[in-house]
Structure 1
């Protein structure tokens, strides 16, 4: 049984803490001695000499070192030039430097993750409120939260007043989660389903509350991502593997040729031992293609320049070659395939057909009234500079009103707000009371349809609701009630006998360029798959809409995925095009399962939760505008304008590896 399904009183007893007074100083010291500071740590970095040694034991480096030693020996014992020694040595230093620079990307990703930790928090200790460093938190602490705070540790909520938390850092989904304190009836399937828990690094967007710290530091969900980043290692690219093979084969041929020349000269032409050895060794050294890595690097650099012209910044040079070999592209949904902006796409009123908002050019009087009531019962704001403040659903309403010239400040002047019954996650509605221009009073209630106390239910309402739900739309009802005189503020009584004015359907819509990019990927033989933390129904609806989920394809949830071992998942992975409600660990397993089938995988994403998979993929692609610093530092390539069509264009155009192969062939022929 997890903390989500247990009573908060029992959990407080487990930690021996009074929720009204907090831990004592003695308890804090004892708990800190057990778990240490509340900090994200990274594995001890390898010393520089170890990193250099690891690079020098690479196949290509060993061959170049042997060639350098032989060339140096010849330069010392004969009158031959030291130029060969200097050139090969410079090449070795260049290769090691480039590799060390690329390896620093992972360290930058971890540093960006550590920067997300909040510095100071308010807690209850010894019966008093006090502000402490977040690093000093221990399990059992009672932390106070309010809008604008970043949650400093994982824990179980004790109180929550209209509390909503943005958990996109962990789930990838931008819609804030309404929190509660009651125990859950069943074990949650994913992080986003833990309605009574809060997690380190997430942001409080509304309300206030308090929670009991249950986990700190690297044991938190954010810490688990840091652990994954520490553990995840990049595989050698196909180019690197083939270069190793080619270098080994050419060197073997060179050594055999040198040995043959030595034997022929010494045994069959009566050459002196020293002369024969000199001729054989000279041939072997001359035949080693020590400048091949430089030729490849120059070719890759040219690819980097060309992709930069297409608004794709390359952070790891070998990704230029790997991109041309990609045959699976796994993409995060929110912010990558979709706009990361809740949008009202459909509207319905009783006795009227469903309206597609994209086709709605002008409002009828009934629609204008409904939109006005929607705006009056909304608290979100968009400032003059375009900065949005408020809930994602309410911001969608504001944007819709602006589209039709209904500005919230003007509406409030015409209908002054007198009182508000705030949104509550239990009752799932909010209400506002206004005075109308004719001196009467108007109550507006906005929320879940099944919680609206309607005087009469329209005949088609259930059919329309199911239609919206089947298309994975988030549904919101708007109802009202009119009064001739100002009513008493008994909200429970006021919010009865309501009249429905309309239903709206919202969704985070696909980016405009995505369907075409997906179609081109299919045409190029690249299989696109969606990986998301969102619900399965929503993921399937979006995937069908943009062309990822096609007839014969299947979708799977994170809970179902966790029932499969790695071997079974690898055997079945080709069946699935949609992976929903998945965790960062699940994303890593999905990438590994495709790689186990011999696929070259590109992973696109923008969130912290995508970072381990971005690092593990053959090519990690981050969004330049919406992407977090953590995701960008873990990626191999960054799309500067977040345009997935650019990504598809780069993947489809395989001239980069062809160009590298052409340069390599020309070099070998010349050599």
Structure 2
């Protein structure tokens, strides 16, 4: 269907929709069933069977299976079947781990999918873009990533960057006119296509195609790779794994050679060596890291932080600077007009939030705003220059649109001025707001009067373009004396922590064409709004916590210097000797000069997006790991350049979210603090189970090596080694990944990104505890064997149970860097449950008679357990000097 050749009436009729009510919920559900979800199909998914088979592709597992086959051919059927069963069980556990990780990552992908504003049942609602259907009426605004193919209904300065589809790097200006001739995709200027980006303006559109029916779907172009790249930590661990594999193979080879030299059967030592290698090599470490990362990410979701890139989880623990927006992040993002200035008159406005109820006061006396012509004139013009709408959902007022515009609309409604009363005015052209220009303008046509421009924005920007002032119903020159009075009012508002917005107008000739710069020059000043966005209650405490954690918080805002400074002091963000810098000062500094002073600056005011990028790079040049927040399309470069890009889930544009590695679902600064805390904890939990796994593996290898060196019988048979690996490695290691943060996690300095995984004494703890686990297991074996030298299986059972118990007791020591006494053992019930499960599985093979011949175990008298538990506790409770 060539939608660009049809007029809007035909398009809406063919799609059975209308712009007054949109689709009904019933219609949208029926269409969703017919056309499917609005997604570009991923590459062919790996079948579950293939994923299961992948668990057995590891070289050592294949060698073990081959060795098991040899065992079976030599008549050792029970051992062969037992080992095959353990390998199968291990594969099943690995399969479920990978499935869980994949589901977690898929959930993350869904959570970070674009949200669109759609008109259904006569109301604007926000939905995930995957639920869009043909016929939906959709709003477009600057920064949106377009999620379906659209026919434009309304375009106000709308420009779309379509390079992903057409290769054209410059944004394309869009209109709604019918295109009569046949044109290529790049020339369909009344259409917007899935995957492209709104760079300017806003508009209204109707969905004509979704999913694989879009232009993007038809050419099978993927917007981004669906393959997950390994994080730096995973890559580091993969390299570590290769080193450990070599070390483990050398040690197990030594065990096998020594055993053969001492007269043990070759096939028995070969099988023992391979079993030991399989148990000792941490081939499952990357999978467990992925699961731990994804489980940690799920916890972060509960704390309102969506991680788009797993590498951010690691980087969070290293953050030293948070560069934060003020509005909505440090403050409540509930702008409320508190003061209004019209020439020679200043009013206070009461009321809270977005409820359109309040009084207008002059010197504590209530006034009727409709009796003041300058005030009515200001409110009416401001309403015409705003897109926000006040919504009332079940008695709760909220804003659909920009919060600043929302505050202005609420102020007008408090005065009894509503948009429907201004229906005779028609907006015919718009110059959208831009954070660099710090202003927006609309050209409005009065059905019975002239055409005029309304411009609103930062007062210091507008006053430079102002030549006139509206006083006493007349236009008068904007003399230096009058400008001084206006600047004084603006400064007083800013010192009261009020954000200021100025409004200007200009009458233009309808017969004449104007350039944008001409529309926004020679303006007439009509008033200023002073609005308050109160600081969030929890932010001051979060900033304090970050400071204790060695993380500096920096406020970056487009507000006036005095406003920013007042808010920073309220939040205890600005220390006694902390500096405040504005955009003008920043522009006059070279990069080198900025780097010299950047550590002393805590507030940047009146800055542009280009300044934000310079600030990030200056901090990074000083060796800082920078977290940067933003919401607008122009913030994307700074967010992408930062070490941890953070976008706003509510107010952020789609392009900012795509550039970020973390999305704040509630836009709260406190969520950043929580994310840093969780990020640190995830990294520490990964260190915990690495410590546990490697210490256990060292113990397993050493007990066998020491026995061979002492010319003793095998303390463990192959099937026992594999069972120890299955019982003690999997569940407890995963449970450590669920450990809650230690109390001092936010009182430690940030971790250096160059820090080795074995830093802070971890390598020493692994070797020392592993050595002790190996020694106590060997001692248990020697005592049991000498007590009854004719009953080798009894001694092997004692060694087997001692090794398992030593590892399971040691897991509680791994929960803290200091000692086993530092944390309540019942603080992680998942770990308690995992340890109890592992003990029960161990007891099953010891006391359940049908399994005894398979695992070469015998019943142990209960008195033996006192000896076993006492020995097993030594590696954990024996004091070993710690090297930090």
421 and 618 in structure 1: CA distance in 2 versus 1, 3 angstrom threshold: closer
Distance, in Å, in 2 between the alignment partners of 1:43 and 1:90 is 31
Name the count of aligned residue pairs: 515
Verify: 1:523 aligned to 2:527, yes or no.
no
> Which deviates further from its counterpart, 503-512 or 248-257?
503-512
Question: In the TM superposition, what are the counterparts of 1:333-412 in structure 2 within 5 Å?
Answer: 335-337=328-330, 343-348=336-341, 363-364=361-362, 368=369, 369=372, 371-377=375-381, 378-379=383-384, 382=390, 395-402=406-413, 405-409=414-418
1:581 matched to which residue of 2? Answer: 608
Partner in structure 2 of residue 263 of structure 1? 257
* Change in 2 beyond 3 A, CA 1:627/1:661: same
CA drift at 1:45: 8.8
SS at match of 1:522: helix
Question: Which digits, 9 at most, give the CA deviation of each residue in 1:617-658, with x for residues without a partner?
Answer: 665544443345565566655444332213323424644444
Residue aligning to 2:231: 236
Tell whether 2:471 aligns with 1:462: no
Residues 593/47 of structure 1: CA separation in 2 closer, same or farther (3 Å cut): farther
Q: Is the 8 A contact 1:468 1:475 kept in 2?
A: no
Q: Are the equivalent residues in 2 in contact too, given 1:376–1:411 (CA < 8 A)?
A: no
Structure 2 CA distance, aligned partners of 1:136 and 1:88?
Answer: 50
Residue 115 of structure 1 corresponds to 146
Q: Residue 264 and residue 553 in structure 1: after superposition, are their counterparts in 2 closer, same or farther (change >3 A)? A: farther
Quote the offset at 1:230 in angstroms: 7.4
Q: Is 1:204 the counterpart of 2:202 in the alignment?
A: yes
- When residues 72 and 328 of structure 1 are mapped into structure 2, their CA distance, relative to the original with a 3 A threshold, is farther
Query: 1:313-351 CA deviation, whole Å, 9 max, x = no partner?
Result: 556667656544433334456654556676535444677
Pair 1:65-2:91 in alignment: no
8 Å Cα contact 2:252/2:273 also seen in 1: yes
Q: Is the 8 A contact 1:109 1:634 kept in 2?
A: no
1:453-498 C-alpha deviation (Å, 9 max, x unpaired): 555879974344334666595443689xxxxxxxxx9xxxxxxxx9
Tell me if structure 2 keeps the 8 A contact 1:474–1:505.
yes
Higher relative contact order (CA 8 A, sep 6+): 1
CA-to-aligned-CA distance 1:38-64 (integer Å, 9 cap, x gap)? xxxx99998879xxx9xx99xxx99x8
SS of residue matched to 2:361: coil
Instruction: State TM-score, norm by structure 2.
Output: 0.43
Mark the CA change 1:335 to 1:292 in structure 2 (over 3 Å): closer, same or farther.
Answer: same
Q: Give distance in 2, aligned partners of 1:499 and 1:366.
A: 26
Root-mean-square deviation (Å): 6.6
- State the match for 1:82 in structure 2: 84
After superposition, what is the alpha-carbon deviation per residue over 1:260-293, rounded to whole angstroms, capped at 9, x for unaligned? 21332344x2556555443333322222234545
Question: Where does residue 280 of structure 2 map in the other structure?
Answer: 287
Residues 510 and 428 of structure 1: CA distance in aligned 2, closer, same or farther (over 3 Å): same
Map 1:140-539 → 2, pairs under 5 A = 144=175, 200-204=198-202, 236-238=231-233, 240-241=234-235, 243-244=237-238, 246-267=240-261, 269-271=262-264, 273-293=266-286, 296=289, 299-300=292-293, 303-304=296-297, 306-313=299-306, 323-331=316-324, 335-337=328-330, 343-348=336-341, 363-364=361-362, 368=369, 369=372, 371-377=375-381, 378-379=383-384, 382=390, 395-402=406-413, 405-409=414-418, 450=466, 451-452=468-469, 454-455=475-476, 461-467=482-488, 471=494, 473-476=499-502, 503-505=528-530, 513-529=538-554
Name the residue aligned to 2:211.
Answer: none
CA separation of 1:663 and 1:270: change in aligned 2, threshold 3 A: closer
**For 1:127-148, what per-residue CA distance to the aligned partner results, in whole angstroms no more than 9, with x for missing partners?**
xxxxxxx9899899985469xx
**Deviation (angstroms), 1:395:** 4.4
Partner Cα separation in structure 2 for residue 346 and residue 561 of structure 1: 33
User: Following TM superposition, by how much is the alpha carbon of 1:452 offset from its aligned partner in structure 2, in angstroms?
Assistant: 1.8
Q: 1:284 to 1:306 in 2, by over 3 A?
A: same
Alpha-carbon deviation of 1:363?
0.9
Q: What's the secondary structure of 1:407's corresponding residue?
A: coil
- Contact 1:557 1:581 survives alignment (8 Å): no
Separation in structure 1 between the aligned mates of residue 610 and residue 419 of structure 2, nearest angstrom? 44
Is the Cα contact below 8 Å between 1:303 and 1:656 reproduced in 2?
Answer: yes
Residue 712 of structure 2 aligns with which residue? none
Q: Residues 234 and 618 of structure 1 are in contact (CA less than 8 Å); yes or no, is this contact kept in structure 2?
A: no
Q: How far does the alpha carbon of each residue in 1:160-196 deviate from its partner, in whole angstroms, 9 at most, with x for none?
A: xxxxxxxxx99xxxxxxxxxxxxxxxxxxxxxxxxxx
Q: CA deviation at 1:258?
A: 0.8
Q: Confirm or deny: 8 A CA contact 1:257 1:283 kept in the other structure.
A: no
- Per the alignment, in what secondary structure is the counterpart of residue 609 of structure 2? coil
In the alignment, structure 1 residue 648 sits paired with structure 2 residue 678: no
Distance 1:467 1:117, change over 3 A: farther
Asked if structure 2 preserves the Cα contact closer than 8 Å seen for 1:344 and 1:397, the reply is yes
| Contact 2:248-2:277 at 8 Å conserved across structures | yes
Task: State the secondary structure of the residue aligned to 2:666.
Answer: coil
1:374 and 1:635 mapped to 2: Cα distance?
A: 39
Look up the SS of the partner of 2:502 in the other structure: strand
Paired with 1:432 and 1:597, the residues of 2 have a C-alpha distance of: 54
**Runs of 5+ unmatched residues, structure 1:** 1-41, 124-133, 147-151, 158-168, 171-198, 207-216, 219-225, 434-444, 480-488, 490-497
Specify every segment of 5 or more residues in structure 2 that has no aligned partner in the other structure, as ranges. 1-38, 115-128, 131-143, 155-163, 178-183, 190-194, 205-214, 217-221, 353-357, 432-438, 447-453, 457-461, 511-522, 697-806, 809-884
**Mapped contact 1:336–1:605 kept (Cα < 8 A):** no
